[in-house]
Amino acid sequence: MKRFLTGAAALALSVTMAPAAFAQDGGYTIGVSNTVQGNGWREEMICAMRAQALSSGEVDRLIVAHRNTDAAGQLEDLRNLIEAGVDAIVLNPANPDALNSAIEDAIAADIVVVAVDQGVTAEGAYVVSNNQEEYAYLGASWLFEQMGGEGSVVYMRGAAGTSADNDRDAGFRRALEENPGVEVVHEVFTGWQQDQGKQQMFDFIATGIPFDGVWTSGIDNVIVDAFLESGAPLVPIVGADNAGFVAMLQDVEGLEGAAVTNPGSIGGAGVAVALNILNGNPPEETTVLVDPVLWQNTTDEGREQIANAQNPNLDPEWPVSVEIPGYTTYSMDEIIACEGPGE
């Protein structure tokens, strides 16, 4: 079975130097903390963590705290993982600052901490993330160009207060400043929930307020569905490289759109980095960023990229970018199986 890559193998490193390495020798217990369920991106992230832990052959046990909660709930989960005596914690943080007390306690207990997808500010923690600001900037710049540099845009954000949403907002605003003829006619937080985002789009279409484009923070195929089901005329739409949206960019007549890569497999990369640190091989810097690329269906090159990225074996809400070159080692079958050590 063919594997499709992000096209984003280039890594950009921060200027913060890594702390001392932890030298151990396999048989690890890894804790995982995630605060969003029911979102395809997060589900792929969790499956990538499980698959990488299994593929590595170095993890005896994976303890997964995977539920819908807030920063307070995640603090509780992190303290439970510390109490369980894990060797490393890989988390997708609900807030960049609110978890610092637990993260600092973990580091003081010689537990490696790796935040994926979003950053944390606790000293000594590692961050492995897609470049969220560039993700938003690339997509917004393309969208505003498609709009001719003027008009009204619907701005559908992620979860309020998260560092990924804050970073994406910075990228979106940067593109907006470069296009003074574009205005935000409606701004809403989807919480990265498919049903919520779709209903929000239905509700705004029903107002009759005109708009010329939609930027989405990865809630995308259901936004196209809202247009199709309501009978509203399509406008240019930007989303992520989710399998369902990528298919729509190829198959939906009249849809002009672009997918910006944002692999959920960053979770697997986070596990790989945690294992490297445990084995005495930390990255040179504490922050590793994976740069995104954009696939548009308005050029021959973009249409070819979109055609090559199609993967009907994936859930429509999973990104088609299922691995991070140089970090993940699992197969397509292993990430789809979503099984960790001992499962």
| Domain 132-260, architecture per CATH | 3-Layer(aba) Sandwich (3.40)
User: Is pLDDT above 80 for 16?
Assistant: no
Strands 182-189 and 151-157, sheet pairing? parallel
Question: For the segment 109-129, what is each residue's pLDDT rounded down to a tens digit?
Answer: 999 999 999 999 999 999 999
Q: Which amino acid is at 234?
A: L
Q: Pinpoint the residues of the chain covered by CATH 3.40.50.2300.
A: 11-130+263-290+320-337, 132-260
The values of phi and psi at residue 162, to 5°, are -80, 150
User: Is pLDDT above 50 for 20?
Assistant: no
Q: What is the mean pLDDT of the chain?
A: 92
| Per-residue pLDDT at 39 | 87
Q: Residue 342: pLDDT band by 50, 70, 90 thresholds?
A: confident
Tokens 């406008």 found at: 235
Question: For the segment 201-229, what is each residue's pLDDT rounded down to a tens digit?
Answer: 999 999 999 999 999 999 999 999 999 99
CATH code of the domain made up of 11-130+263-290+320-337: 3.40.50.2300
CB-based contact 286:127 (threshold 8 Å): yes
Pick the more confident residue, 202 or 7: 202
Rounded distance between C-alpha atoms, residue 290 and residue 306, angstroms? 20
